[in-house]
Structures are given as C-alpha cells and as structure tokens.
Amino acid sequence: MSGTRRGLPVGRIAAALVLLALVVWTVVIEPRWVAARIEPLGSASWQAPAGLKVAVAADWHLSTQSLWRVTSAERAARIVDQINAARPDVVLLPGDFLAGSGEDEDFAIEDMAAVLGRLKAPQGVYAVLGNHDWWHDGERIARALTAQGIRVLENASVRLPGHALWVVGIGDGSTGHSRPELALAGVPPGAPTLVMMHDPFSFAAMPPTKGLVVAAHTHGGQISLPGLGALVVPGRAPREWAYGWIAHQGRRMYVTSGLGVSILPVRFNMRPEWVLFQ
C-alpha cells in the first residue's frame, strides 16, 4: 500500500512532464518549424515544361503580435530568403498575407507587401487574395502587392512568359469572390495551367484543367491526429481536403498547410510549409 502511494507522485510528475513537453512542442516549436517540401510538378495527365520549378507559399499571416500569431516580418524575411535560394522560376502566393481582420492587427499593408516583394522568380510572382486579406482591405492589399511587382490574379489568367503555360488565379470562396469560370475564360482550350486559389472549396466548381492546381486556407487543420486527420477544417471544403494531394472526379489538387497560424497559435503533426513543385 505504501509503495503504491509512493508511486503515485512519480506517475503524476511524469504525466505533467509529458503534458508540458506536448504544450511546448505544439505552441512553441512546431508552429515555427517550417518545412521546405518538394513535390512533382507534372503528373500522368500532363507533362510540365522541362526544368520548370514552381514555389507555392500561402497563409503567411504576418503580424506584429508574433508571440501569439507567429509570423513576424523577420521570420517572413527568412522564409523569403529560403524560397529565393531554391531559385524557382515561378512563385505562387495563394492568399492570407496578414493575420487578423484589420481591427485586431496593425501590421501595415505596405510593409507586408515590401517583405513579399523581395521574392524573386524570372517568370514572375503571382498572388490571389484570401479571406483575411479581404477582411483587412482587399483592394489596398492588391495595390500594394502590385506596386512591389507581384501580379494579382483575381479571377483572371495570364500566359507565362516564354511558355504555353497559363497562370490562373481564382478568388476566395469563403468571402464570395470565387469565379472559377471567369478565371479560366481567357485560357485557350486545352492549354496547360498553373491554377491557384485560396479556399480549396472552389475546386469542386472549377472547370476541368490540365496542369497543377494548388490551394491553401485550411492550414491542414493545424492539428492532425494520426488515424483521424484534421480535427477542424475552416470553410465548406470536406475535412478530407485539409492537406496534401486531393483527388476529385479524376482530377487532383495540392492543399498546402501554409506558413502561419490562425485563431490559436498551435500546430501538431502539421508543420508549416512552403512547397517547391519541380
């Protein structure tokens, strides 16, 4: 009996240490442990231009409150340097550049654009706006990014210089800006595309395309439990669309876990990432 009583404090201390380690990992370490993933650009259904490299970096959620919202200007600048060091030909930025809604975040829009304006890609840097961007001031953010040389494609497309490949941007679905058919209207029939959207739900209504499709917004749920996956996925996309390669009606899309956090500063089994498709 006495041995049992002596063993209880040890068990409780061990449980407390495990809990503390879990909290430190989930709140302090993993949200800041950025992965640089490499994924194939082409697929069985289309062949990408030889040697082309496309970097995708979403959900930056830049903030002056970096202890809570993680992504400071300094951290974002380091990620920009990492992306530039990979020498991508094209950079796609699928939205949510600022944290919060504008009323609870005072990171200046032009300062955010200046940080991302350091991204370098010979075939161009392209962006769409996310829900947080519209909650701040979507038109002002678009102007600020454009002033830094970033091409904002809101339900629009543009031919990639020197290629028969088109870059397409679909507006954010969660704020009512998604117009997939309008976004693809200028693309010649059968032309290969690089399609980006913020909210992956737009993929369900997107006309068939040949090429790469990428989305963001979900953060992979931020917490992903083994065997269960993401506990919560924002928006109307199915929970199974939280992260990674998604198959739907014979097509596929890559949903990135993004770089920042939203609501709670936590990540578990879902590292932040930027992705190089090559």
Residue 160 token pair: 């990639």
Residue 52 lies in a domain: yes
Backbone angles phi, psi at 57, to 5 degrees: -140, 115
Q: How many domains does the chain have?
A: 1
Domain coverage including residue 260: 33-277
Residue 23 lies in a domain: no
pLDDT value for 8:
59
Residue 11 lies in a domain: no
- What does the pLDDT look like over 213-233, one tens digit per residue? 999 999 999 999 999 999 888
Q: In CATH, what number is assigned to the domain containing residue 119? A: 3.60.21.40
Split at pLDDT 50, 70, 90, the class of 102 is confident
What mean pLDDT, rounded, does the chain reach?
Answer: 94
pLDDT higher than 90, residue 110: yes
Going by their DSSP bridges, the two strands 229-230 and 224-225 should be labelled as: antiparallel
Helix 109-116 crosses helix 73-85 at what angle (to 10 degrees)?
A: 20
pLDDT higher than 80, residue 103: yes
pTM of the model: 0.94
Residue 63 lies in a domain: yes
pLDDT value for 4:
46
Residue 3 lies in a domain: no
Residue 24 token pair: 């430190």
Residue 62 lies in a domain: yes
CB atoms within 10 A of CB 190: 8
- What does the pLDDT look like over 19-42, one tens digit per residue? 999 989 999 999 999 999 999 998
pLDDT value for 1:
43
Least Cα distance to 183 among 40, 175, 203, 48 occurs for 203
The DSSP line for 190-219 is: T-EEEEEESSGGGGGGPPP-EEEEEE-SSG
Residue 39 lies in a domain: yes
Under a CB-based contact definition with an 8 Å cutoff, are residues 265 and 219 in contact?
Answer: no
pLDDT higher than 60, residue 211: yes
Residue 27 lies in a domain: no
pLDDT higher than 70, residue 168: yes
pLDDT value for 3:
44
Give the pLDDT mean for 209-213: 96
